[in-house]
Amino acid sequence: MSNFIIYSVVASIVLTVVLNVLPLIFPNAAAKLQKRIEENAKHAIEQHEDATRPRVKVFFPWKVMLVGSIVLTVLVNVIWALAR
């Protein structure tokens, strides 16, 4: 239990130092991130207000599933052939 407390305190100190040093290393990163977040929010609001667009987007990774299926089929067949 005492190790957990020590690790927690050390991790807290390290994270505090890292989060305070990062803006000094990358001074323009915060402005770029803020601009990107504002653009994404603006884009989302525009999409929400557009009545012609569907409200739900469905992402179906059929290409990845097809490649994964082929790779797994070959792998299973190779393992089956080696096991015989």
For the question of whether the overall pTM of this predicted structure is more than 0.95, the answer is: no
pLDDT at 45: 84
Collapsed DSSP state (helix, strand, coil) of residue 52: coil
Q: What is the mean pLDDT of each run of 10 residues along the chain (84 residues)?
A: 85 91 86 92 82 73 92 94 89
pLDDT at 56: 72
pLDDT at 51: 72
- CA angle, corner 56, sides to 53 and 61, nearest 5? 115
pLDDT at 1: 65
* C-alpha of 16 from chain center: 23
pLDDT at 50: 73
